[in-house]
Amino acid sequence: MIKVCKFGGTSMADANAMLKVKQIIESDKTRKFIVVSAPGKRNKADIKITDVLYSCYDELLKTGSCEKNFSIIRERFVKIVEDLKLNIDINAVLDQTEKEICESKSADFAASRGEYLSAIVMSSLLGYDFIDAASMIRFDSDGNLNEDYTNDKVKSKIKGHDNAVVPGFYGKDSSGNVKTFSRGGSDITGSIIARGVKADLYENWTDVSGFLVCDPRIVPEAKVIKQLTYKELRELSYMGASVLHSEAIFPVMRERIPINIKNTFKPEDAGTMIVPSEMYNPADDSVITGIAGKKNFTVIFIEKSLMNSEVGFIRKVLSVVEHFGICVEHVPSGIDTLSVVIESGQLENGVLSDIVSEIRESVNPDYVHVIENISLIATVGHGMARRSGTAAKIFTALAEKGINIRMIDQGSSELNIIIGVANSDYENCIATIYNTFIK
Ligand code: ADP
Ligand code: ASP
Ligand code: MG
């Protein structure tokens, strides 16, 4: 039996949290391979080490040194090592790290050092070997993970180690420079290592007792989801449930390895099991599994009579958007209508009006209308396919609360109903759907 355990930022925040992590690992001998994040916030007002490292890079660009911001990193790690009474020359490691950040002149390299330092500290605390992620994880020149190369490297590097600590969040690009995943990417590293060692379980330790039906910052009493399928996880994490990085599912999915989301500060709680559908066997079978959402989308609404009989209409609209190098989030359509939903951040600096003009020229629509400041909210549950009336129940509840639905898109998977509401209705909408389905 092998377990790979990833510990997030709060689990690495200070010596106390790290001691809790040690206890968890030592209580189960199968917890052999450990992936760590950089120290996160110790309290609400605190700042994540990764954020300080990005500031080091900014300072370096402006002044040629990162001394000011690096002193915050130094203070945090010196205190951790002192509190843990570890026998490592942390000042020498920090001096070398600061020097390398200055020499590399790379934001990714700077950001990666939080995980690197965390892993050095944890390997000393646990007496486990340290294996650098840069020697295993490889990105292609297009920036995507080279899965086969990485998997082979993980297998060969880890062979011969009974146990080890691996820093999360980064690997190397095709030119040999350190490159990070997007934010929260240590979850992906954990999944890669779990796949490489063919783990029986990937434990993802965080600061909540599992994947909750919705964001606890919106509904504080949100219940824990006991079991979740890979597909549901993908929908929820892609739609903003930030507890697990949306790409973390893929490596473990290849080997059908379950993920267990656990709470470092309440290790006795069962947490959430995320399993392939063939293993799914929940005690309670609720209609909806979870609700997640993201703010700040723009909807371009296009109307043209007999649009459906015009060959290539949708293709022409989408190629306008593609021409601007922009990703489309959703394309809900009706008989004579088509909406293109795009993340608003991609449409700044006049891009939106250029796209609208080009759409007008390209397909000569009867009417084009832009709706900005839209939030997308996904209600996910594989139980929805077997039961009728879920959408009607959502719409009725929202109508009763006076929340105007601006857009609807029911995914073809029947796993997901996505609605668009004004940003100002975001929290209220999620809370209303929660209260309608979860007792
Ligand atoms: P870590 O540093 O351990 O990776 P994250 O901050 O990335 O932790 O993720 C955990 C946080 O995700 C929780 O503290 C919680 O505020 C937030 N979160 C958002 N949506 C959910 C959800 N549906 N279930 C649980 N946590 C959620
Ligand atoms: N430390 C990185 C971040 O803050 C990666 C991670 O925690 O997963 O995004
Ligand atoms: Mg995270």
The two beta strands, 367-380 and 416-422, are antiparallel
Ligand 3 centroid vs 139 CA: distance in angstroms? 21
Q: What is the mean pLDDT of residues 240-254?
A: 94
Is 415:385 a contact under the CB 8 Å cutoff?
yes
> Which residue owns the Cα nearest ligand 1 atom 7?
243
Confirm if 208 and 271 have CB atoms less than 8 A apart.
Answer: no
For residue 296, the Cα-to-chain-centroid distance in whole angstroms is: 17
Let me know whether 274 and 294 are in one domain: no
How many angstroms separate the CA atoms of 116 and 101, rounded?
A: 12
CB 21 within 8 A of CB 41: no
Residue 382 vs residue 271, higher pLDDT: 271
Look at residue 285 and tell me if it is in a domain: no
Distance 292 CA to ligand 2 centre (A): 20
Residue at a domain's end among 279, 304, 334: 279
Neighbour count for residue 104 (Cβ, 10 Å): 17
Burial label, 316 (beta-carbon count in 10 A; 0-12, 13-18, 19+): middle
Token pair 């250029």 in the structure block, residue: 354
Domain boundary among 279, 305, 333: 279
- Residue from 48, 76, 116 whose mutation best tests the ligand 2 pocket (most atoms within 8 A of CB): 48
Say what the pLDDT of residue 369 is: 94
Contact (Cβ atoms closer than 8 angstroms) between residue 122 and residue 176: no
**What's the CA gap between 355 and 97, in Å, rounded?**
45
Is 348 contained in some domain?
Answer: yes
The arithmetic mean of pLDDT across residues 235-262, rounded, is: 94
Identify the residue whose tokens are 């929820």. Answer: 236
What the block records as the tokens of 162 is 């009974």
Of 183, 188, 205, 246, which is best to mutate to test ligand 2, by the most ligand atoms within 8 angstroms of its C-beta? 183
Same domain, 136 and 270: yes
Residue 157 host element (H or E) = helix 147-158
Q: Which helix (H) or strand (E) holds 186?
A: helix 186-196
Contacts with 297 (C-beta within 8 Å, 6 or more apart), sequence order: 329, 341, 342, 343, 344, 374, 375, 376, 420
Query: pLDDT value at position 412?
Result: 65
Say if 284 falls within a structural domain.
no
Same domain, 408 and 326: yes
What gap in Å lies between CA 265 and CA 194, rounded to an integer? 23
Residues 347 and 224 grouped into a single domain? no
Q: Answer yes or no: do 196 and 234 share one domain.
A: yes
Rounded to whole angstroms, the Cα distance separating 77 from 63 reads 24
pLDDT of residue 3: 98
Per the domain annotation, does 301 fall within a domain? yes
How high is the pLDDT of residue 389? 84
User: Sign (positive/negative) of CA torsion 5, 165, 199, 244?
Assistant: positive
What distance in angstroms lies between residue 381's CA and the mean position of ligand 3's atoms?
Answer: 23
411 pLDDT exceeds 70? Answer: no
What's the gap in Å between 263 CA and the centre of ligand 3?
12
How many structural domains are present in the chain? 2
Domain for residue 51, yes or no? Answer: yes
Encoding tokens for residue 74? Answer: 């130094």
**Separation of alpha carbons 293 and 399, rounded Å:** 19
> What was the pLDDT predicted at 108?
98
Percent over 90 (pLDDT), the chain: 86
Judgement on whether residues 260 and 337 belong to the same structural domain of the protein: no
List for the chain the helix, strand, coil content (%; round to 5): 45, 20, 35
Q: Last residue of a domain, which of 258, 279, 300?
A: 279
Same domain (yes/no): 116, 227:
yes
Residues near 120 by Cβ (< 8 Å), separated by ≥ 6?
88, 93, 130
CA 27–ligand 1 middle distance (angstroms): 24
353-366 per-position pLDDT tens digit: 999 999 999 999 99
Query: How far apart are alpha carbons 335 and 262 in whole angstroms?
Result: 46
- The verdict on the CB of residue 168 being under 6 Å from ligand 1 is no
Is there a single domain that holds both residue 195 and residue 299?
A: no
DSSP 378: E
User: Given the DSSP bridges, would you call strands 259-263 and 201-206 parallel, antiparallel or unpaired?
Assistant: parallel
Domain of residue 114: give its range. 3-279
Ligand 1 atom with the shortest distance to the CA of 292: 23
User: Is 188 a member of any domain?
Assistant: yes
What's the mean pLDDT in 52-62?
97
Is pLDDT of 371 > 80? yes
Judge if pTM exceeds 0.85.
Answer: yes
What distance in angstroms lies between residue 19's CA and the mean position of ligand 2's atoms? 20
Ligand 1 pocket member 209 (CB < 6 A): no
User: Domain holding 298: CATH number?
Assistant: 3.30.2130.10
Evaluate whether residue 193 is within a structural domain: yes
Instruction: Say whether both 214 and 361 belong to one domain.
Output: no
- State yes or no: pLDDT of 203 exceeds 70: yes
Please check whether residue 86 lies inside any domain of the structure. yes
In this structure, are 61 and 203 located in the same domain? yes
Q: Tell me the CATH number at 80.
A: 3.40.1160.10
The number of the ligand nearest the C-alpha atom of 240 reads: 1
Question: How far, in Å, CA of 178 to CA of 165, rounded?
Answer: 18
Say yes or no: 114 and 41 in one domain.
yes
Same domain, 189 and 316: no
- 76 in Cβ contact with 49 (< 8 Å): yes
Are 88 and 124 a contacting pair, CB within 8 Å?
yes
How far lies 87's CA from each of 80, 123, 161, 210, 409, in Å?
12, 12, 22, 35, 57
Question: pLDDT at residue 374 above 80?
Answer: yes
